[in-house]
Amino acid sequence: MATKASITNQKVPQENASLKKQCNELKQDQNLLLDEITRFHGLVNEGDTTATIPIKQFTGVSKKMVDLINGTIETYRTTTINQKEKIKKLADEAEKQKQFAYTMVMQNPQPQLIVSREMQIKLANEAFIKMSGIPAGSVTSMNLKSFKVLEKSGHNVREAMEKKKGVSGFVTVEFPSGIRYLEQHSIPMLDKDGNLVSLMTVYNDLTEKRRIEIAEKELTEFTSTYQATLGRNLSLLSNGDMNFDLTIPEANENTRKAAEEFRLINTSLTTVRNNLLALIKDTEMLTQASVEGKLATRADPSKHQGEYRKIVEGINVTLDKMIEPVEEAIKVANEYAHTNFAVRFDEKLSLAGDFIRFKESLNNIGIRVADAVTLVNKQVLDLAAAAEEANASIEEVASGSNQVAQSSSSVSANSEKGGVAMHQVLRAMDDLSATVSSVATKTEAISHLTREANNMSKKGSELAKRTEQGMEGITRNATDVDAIVKDIKSQMDQIGKIVNVITDLANQTNLLALNAAIEAARAGDAGRGFAVVATEVKSLAQESRESAENIAEMIGNLQKKSQAAADAAAEAGRTVKEGGSALAETLQVFNRIVSSVDEINQNIEMVAASTEEQAASVEEITASVNEVNALIQNTSKEAVDSAAASEETSAAIDQIGKIIENVNTIVDRVSKEMAKFRT
């Protein structure tokens, strides 16, 4: 700027004062101008666009200069304002454009994103936020790479950036709102030089569309599966197979409704099957009843419906028609069974076809049997007469044979009785023998026992003798003790005497001491020493006397005790003497026992000897009895043989008799039975 150039003081020639004055005025003017320009410069620099240099102060050249400066400034200012307005207009336009673009993106119903070259999300429209469920606040801090892409196909964002060309593809992304299947259009945004600035992605949410496609596909598959099963079931039904496959494929939310309908179809199918089965069951029941001959059995038509009922009713009518002739036949046959062959089939019944032949056959049976029975009756009467005659003859033979049998059996019985008696004798002999031998055994045992008793009593006797000796010893000892005690006693007496002497001495000493004390006391001081001695002597004497008294007492006790000992010894002696006499008695008893035992022994030996003799006799008798027994048994056997022979004869005759009797009976019975037949 021109105002910036500085004007320095010039050397002005001082030739004249006016010049000088002019110079000074000029100088002042210039300095003022400089000041103003400086101030103006400062204002402009501070941004004051309306600043001007005040012109009034200046005159002449300076005024012109200022005017020029102000004019220049004004021109410049006007131009600047115009430019600014133009720029503002452009900026407003740009802002409008920007707002438009922003609205276009933000308000777009299709989800859109603006990402940087690094795929950082710069802008996400409301549709995207709604679709993804990502909070509006955090979406711009995310990167496209951080999306969880499950599946992708077609062209992707990277390709669009590389090719700088819009591409399309499909991605499946897991958003917070759920898994979305999206059509993705990537549109690179270039500047005018063709450099990539950012990238716009536009999404088309195909999730719902895809879901419906899947649902339709599943439903089609489900239905076709069931239709195939249904076709098979109908085929089974037409072939009479009731084992239907009633499974319905597992349904999901897409096929649930269809499954419901299929279930209804299945229910109907089951009803058909049940009705058919009921019909079959009744038919089978009737067939079975017919096979078993239960012609009265009928099915209940009310259990069936519609056409099924008609079938059952038809069967029932058929059975009714069949049962009439059959029942008549049963009646006739029953009469035959009760021997009434005179009865015939009821002619009133209207019969047809095979049933007429059935009637004639039955009637023929009655006619033929009646003829045969008449013939048999006649012949049976003849047979009865013949049998009667045979019976009479046989009875005669039987009575003779019976007599023989009786005689020989009585012989046999007698000899058997003899045999039994002999057996009894033998058993008695055996018993006797056993008794005798047991007597022998017992006598031996007794003999043994008596020997032992003998030994024992001898030992006892010896022991008693020894005891007696011991007793004598005790008696001797007791006597000795008595003597010793007496000796002690006399010595004690001696000691007693000595003690008495000591007591006397002590008493006298005491008295002497007393007198000495008296004397000493009377002697006053001179006797004091002696008084002490006297007191000592007196106390000694006292002690001696007490000791002597103690001794006397002790001796008294000892004497008493030794007396007691002597008494005890004497008592012992006496007791021993008594014991001695008892022992003597015992000895005698023992001796008596010994002699008794000896006697017993002798007797027993005698018994043993006689027992042996007895045993010998018993054996002899037994032998004889055995011989007799053998003889009897022989006799018996022979008698038995004879009896058996005659019994056999008798039995044979009886047999014949019985047979004839049987014949008679049979003839009787036959004629009786034959009489029952009505012809």
Partner 1 sequence: MQDNQVAERSIAPLPRNAAKGGNRNPAGSQQEVVPPVQVVEFLLGKEHFAVDLFDVKEVVEYTRITRLPNTPSYIKGIIDLRGEITTIIDLKEALAIAGADVKSEEDSRIIVLDDQITLSKTGIMVDDVLSVSTFQRSQVDSSLAALHKENTQIIGIIKKKIRIKDRDSTELIIWIDVKQLLKALEQGMKDISLTLDKIKSEVASGEQDS
Query: H or E element: which one contains 187?
Result: strand 178-190
Q: To the nearest whole angstrom, how small is the minimum distance from the Cβ of residue 539 to partner 1? A: 10
Interface residue with partner 1 among 131, 144, 499, 531 (CB under 8 A) is: 531
State which of residues 286, 380, 517, 639 lies at the interface with partner 1 (CB under 8 A): 517
- Residue 25 or 519: which CB sits closer to partner 1? 519
CB of 534 to partner 1, least distance (A): 8
Window of 137-145, 288-296, 433-441, 520-528 that interacts with partner 1 by CB under 8 A: 520-528
Helix (H, G, I), strand (E, B) or coil at 108: coil
Q: Any idea how long the chain is?
A: 679
Instruction: Count residues binding partner 1 (CB under 8 A).
Output: 14
- Contacts within 8 Å (CB) and 24+ apart, 44-47: none
* Binding piece for partner 1, criterion CB under 8 A, among 366-374, 448-456, 521-529, 670-678: 521-529
Counting Cβ atoms within 10 Å, is residue 650 exposed (0-12), middle (13-18) or buried (19+)? buried
CA distance 112 to 201: 6
- Minimum CB separation of residue 559 from partner 1 in Å reads 24
Residue 557 CB, nearest approach to partner 1 (Å): 24
Candidate ranges 159-167, 508-516, 579-587, 655-663; the one touching partner 1 (CB under 8 A)? 508-516
Binding residue for partner 1, selected from 522, 560, 672, 678, defined by CB under 8 A: 522
Cβ(365)–Cβ(345) below 8 Å: no
Rounded to an integer, what distance in angstroms lies between the CA atom of residue 340 and that of residue 302?
44
Candidates 595, 632, 204, 586; CA nearest to 412 is 632
Helix axes 207-238, 256-291, angle to 10 degrees: 10
By C-beta, is 213 or 519 nearer to partner 1? 519
| Nearer to partner 1 among residue 146 and residue 515 (C-beta) | 515
Per CB under 8 A, the list member of 228, 511, 532, 630 interacting with partner 1 is 511
Token pair in block for residue 289: 């009843």
CB of 541 to partner 1, least distance (A): 12
| Contact stretch for partner 1 (CB under 8 A) within 60-68, 310-318, 335-343, 516-524 | 516-524
Query: Minimum CB separation from partner 1 for residue 522, in Å?
Result: 7
Pick one of 135, 138, 524, 616: the residue that binds partner 1 (CB under 8 A): 524
Using CA of residue 129, residue 134, residue 135, residue 141, what is the dihedral sign?
negative
Q: How far is the CB of 477 from partner 1 (least distance, A)?
A: 45
The reply on whether position 515 binds partner 1 by CB under 8 A is yes
* The binder of partner 1 chosen from 180, 185, 359, 538 (CB under 8 A): 538
Closer to partner 1 by CB, 157 or 516: give it: 516
Shortest Cβ 492–partner 1 spacing (Å): 25
Whole-Å CA distances, 227 to 26, 235, 267, 662 = 121, 12, 15, 86
Site for partner 1 (CB under 8 A): which residue of 319, 329, 514, 537?
A: 514
Cα distances from 64 to residues 26, 121, 240, 344, in angstroms, run 14, 63, 131, 176
d(CA 656, CA 646): 15
Q: Which of 34, 277, 342, 521 binds partner 1 (CB under 8 A)?
A: 521
Q: Which stretch binds partner 1 (CB under 8 A): 385-393, 423-431, 509-517, 611-619?
A: 509-517
59 in Cβ contact with 76 (< 8 Å): no
Tokens of 162: 């590389």
Least spacing, CB of residue 535 vs partner 1, in Å = 8
* Complex with partner 1: residue 135 or 524, whichever CB lies closer: 524
Minimum separation from the CB atom of position 517 to partner 1 (A):
4
CA pair distance 90, 568, nearest whole angstrom: 168
Q: For partner 1, which residue of 46, 347, 389, 525 counts as binding (CB under 8 A)?
A: 525
506 binds partner 1 (CB under 8 A): no
Q: Which is nearer to partner 1, 405 or 534 (CB)?
A: 534
Considering the complex, what minimum distance in angstroms separates the CB of residue 510 from partner 1? 9
Of 519 and 578, the one with the shorter C-beta distance to partner 1 is 519
Q: Would you state the torsion angle of the CA atoms of residues 140, 141, 146, 149, taken in this order, to the nearest 10 degrees?
A: -20
Longest dimension (CA), the chain: 232
Tokens 């795929």 -> residue: 119
Among residues 518, 532, 630, 652, which is the contact residue for partner 1, using CB under 8 A?
518
* Calpha distance 62→67 (Å, rounded): 8
**Smallest gap from residue 554 Cβ to partner 1 (A):** 23
Instruction: Identify the residue among 494, 508, 603, 626 touching partner 1 (CB under 8 A).
Output: 508
Site for partner 1 in 90-109 (CB under 8 A): none
From the CB of 512, what's the least distance to partner 1, in Å?
9
Q: d(Cα 672, Cα 398) in Å, to the nearest integer?
A: 29
Q: Classify residue 194 by its DSSP letter.
A: S
CA distance 521 to 513: 12
Question: Residue 176, interface with partner 1 (CB under 8 A)?
Answer: no
CA-nearest of 291, 345, 290, 347 to 321 is 290
DSSP β-ladder status, 196-205 and 148-154? unpaired
Question: Which residues fall within 8 angstroms of residue 197, CB to CB, at 6 or more apart?
Answer: 117, 189, 190, 191
Q: How far apart are CA 669 and CA 665, in angstroms?
A: 6
**What minimum distance in Å lies between the beta carbon of 524 and partner 1?**
4
For the chain, the first-to-last Cα distance in angstroms comes to 175
Phi first, then psi, for residue 152 (nearest 5°) are -150, 155
Taking alpha carbons only, the member of 446, 437, 383 closest to residue 612 is: 437
| Closer residue to partner 1 in complex, CB, 430/519 | 519
Residue 463 near residue 652, CB atoms below 8 Å: no
Instruction: Write down the least CB distance from residue 499 to partner 1, Å.
Output: 17
Stretch that binds partner 1, among 38-46, 101-109, 511-519, 546-554 (CB under 8 A): 511-519
Contacts to partner 1 by CB under 8 A: 508, 511, 514-515, 517-519, 521-522, 524-525, 531, 534, 538
